Amino acid sequence: MNKIKIFDTTLRDGEQSPGVNLNFQEKMEIARQLEKYGVDIIEAGFPAASKGDFQSVREIANTIKGCSVTGLARAVKSDIDTAWEALKGSEEPRLHVFIATSPIHMAYKFNKKPEEIVEIAVEMVKYASKFFPVIQWSAEDASRSELPFLAHITEEVIKAGANVVNLPDTVGYTTPKEYGAMFSYLKENVPNIHKVDLSTHCHDDLGMAVANSLAAVENGATQIEGAINGIGERAGNAAIEEVAVALHTRKDFYQSYTNITLSETKRTSDLVSKLTGMAIPANKAVVGRNAFAHESGIHQDGFLKNRSTYEIISPELVGVQQKEVVLGKHSGRHAFRTHLMDLGFTLQDNQIDSLFEKFKDLADKKKDVTDDDLFSLVLQKTVNSDELYKLDSLQVQYGSHNIPTATITLTKNDGESVQEAATGSGSVEAIYNTLNRCIDSELKLLDYRLQSINGGPDALAEVFVKIEGNGVEASGRGLAYDVLESSAKAYLNAINRMIAIQEYRKETKQEVM
């Protein structure tokens, strides 16, 4: 059996998904969960892209010790220097440096001859090896590169000190057969190839990212890159959870294994979906709501007689549980605390105290407080701790023959309070017009989504919004028992994040790989 390393780029390529912007606490929460999920390498960001990226890569590198943390760099000294500053505190500092190798990229992006590209790649790997014990080198657009050239540059970067060679299908163009053949070509034509791990990085433009990654494994790849739920540039990356479950379920075929703790799959997927605001389609493999539902009579009949007639993955394998009641209004602080620990949260005493109050409020309104409710509650609390504005009070007047009117009081973190009122054609619009007035800004609402946690008449309401103002897009989430309150909280959360982005966005993120 071959060990396949899992390289997770949810926080770098995944975070480049259009409309996704994670704040620092959210990235840290995801990194902690990825560590628990058992990925081998976390790509925490692109340190040279912005001050915010640098800070979060550095904090994640300093905090996460159960797996390797890496950051992306272009093949330029300043990017490598910045990456070193961000990563030097990690358990095993690892650089991910890339340069494009396809004729179209070399000619149009760099205006350089192939031999000049080889020189730059070699020089930068040598330069990086002065600091970094582990260097991953990527040939951007490898799948559209000429194979003899790809073999040549690969041999040279290995000589220069690269430990991992990654061959991305940057534009999601290749097919499983072609992509596999590229790996076997390098295996046969690069004399020093046995010294490195060979890695995949596949995009899903033609819906083949996972199939391509697995075809590479059949041909000698020992590392797969991807993102949770398959998020990423354009159509996204190979979905890590699909790769891991496929390698497990078909180990008879692939003769491989990973370090992934499959029972953490659902939790990891839910966390990334909630924090990025990218919903999981009901029919998505492994983690979709319908992935374990059997609808047709013939299937149900077979399934009841023997599960394996129609079920190749059990829900328990990936941590999908039936809805269960966990706590209610008579549950005490001790049970609450123990349960949060069982759910995998590590919290300070003061955080537990304030969460316990929120839990009691909720348990007064809602008979059964489920794991999902607690998960959402804790997440809301832990990732939104340093907001500029907090919702103090909200009042909405609505009647079928009245003009909806909202009155809102906000408290700023310096103690100042702001109160405004405004109307709208509906209650939510009235709330959003009022909030715009509170911060004296005309914001545009780009997206609004409402969902209930677990369903049922007393379910918690979760709202996701995306807003735009002064050229900055930000998303926000709100959780409350009432849909209007959660709508207000989501919009205010987006406002707080927009202000934070404006404050430290030095330059726009570059589109890479």
Among 13, 204, 371, 485, binds Zn ion (CB under 5 A): 13
What's the closest the beta carbon of residue 313 comes to Zn ion, in angstroms?
Answer: 27
How many residues form the binding site for Zn ion (CB under 5 A)? 2
Compute CA 308 distance to the chain's CA centroid, rounded to the nearest angstrom.
32
Contact between 487 and 473 (Cβ < 8 Å): no
Q: Which of 219, 207, 128 is nearest to 172 (CA)?
A: 207
Shortest spacing between CB 243 and Zn ion, in angstroms: 15
Of the pair 148, 207, the CB lying nearest Zn ion is at 207
Which listed range, 9-17, 54-62, 178-186, 483-491, lies at the site for Zn ion (CB under 5 A)?
A: 9-17
| Closer Cβ to Zn ion, 15 or 156, answer by number | 15
Q: Does 513 bind Zn ion (CB under 5 A)?
A: yes
- Whichever of 200 and 486 has its CB closer to Zn ion, that residue is 200
**Cα separations in angstroms, 299 against 30, 232, 271, 295:** 37, 35, 31, 7
15 or 373, CB closer to Zn ion?
15
Region near Zn ion per CB under 5 A, out of 7-15, 115-123, 325-333, 353-361: 7-15
Q: Which residue lies nearest Zn ion, judged by its C-beta? A: 513
The token pair that represents 222 in the structure block:
């020992």
CA distance 461 to 477: 10
**Cβ distance 217 to 226 under 8 Å?**
no
Question: How far apart are CB 225 and Zn ion at their closest, in Å?
Answer: 8
- Least distance from C-beta 152 to Zn ion, angstroms? 24
Is residue 224 close enough to count as binding Zn ion by CB under 5 A? no
Least distance (Å) from Zn ion to the CB of residue 487?
Answer: 34
Instruction: Single out the residue of 67, 136, 131, 61 nearest to residue 97, CA to CA.
Output: 136
Contact 167, 182 (CB under 8 A): yes
Which span (11-19, 49-57, 77-85, 191-199) binds Zn ion, by CB under 5 A?
Answer: 11-19
Closest by CA position to 432, among listed 387, 460, 468, 381: 468
Q: Please say which residue, 14 or 478, places its beta carbon nearer to Zn ion.
A: 14
Q: Does 379 engage in binding with Zn ion (CB under 5 A)?
A: no
- Report 89-118 residues binding Zn ion (CB under 5 A): none
Identity of the residue, 238 or 377, whose beta carbon is nearer to Zn ion in the bound complex: 238
Packing angle between helix 371-383 and helix 265-276, nearest 10 degrees?
A: 50
Nearer to Zn ion, 13 or 59 (CB): 13
Report helix, strand or coil for 484: helix
The distance of closest approach from Cβ of residue 236 to Zn ion in the complex, given in angstroms and rounded to an integer, is: 9
Taking CA atoms, 67 is separated from 7, 34, 38, 94, in Å, by: 10, 9, 8, 11
Tell me how crowded residue 485 is: count the other CB atoms within 10 A of its CB. 18
Query: Segment contacting Zn ion (CB under 5 A): 94-102, 148-156, 192-200, 505-513?
Result: 505-513
How would you classify the pairing of strands 41-45 and 2-3?
A: unpaired
Cα 113 from Cα 118, distance rounded (Å): 9
Query: Is the Cβ of residue 118 or residue 513 nearer to Zn ion in the bound state?
Result: 513
d(C-alpha 492, C-alpha 411), whole Å: 11
**Minimum distance, C-beta of residue 237 to Zn ion, in the bound complex (Å):** 6
Q: How far is the CB of 232 from Zn ion (least distance, A)?
A: 6
Smallest separation (angstroms) from Zn ion to the CB of 16: 8
Query: Shortest Cβ distance from residue 503 to Zn ion (Å)?
Result: 28
d(CA 464, CA 277): 7
CA angle 139, 185, 116 (to 5 degrees): 35
- List residues binding Zn ion (CB under 5 A): 13, 513
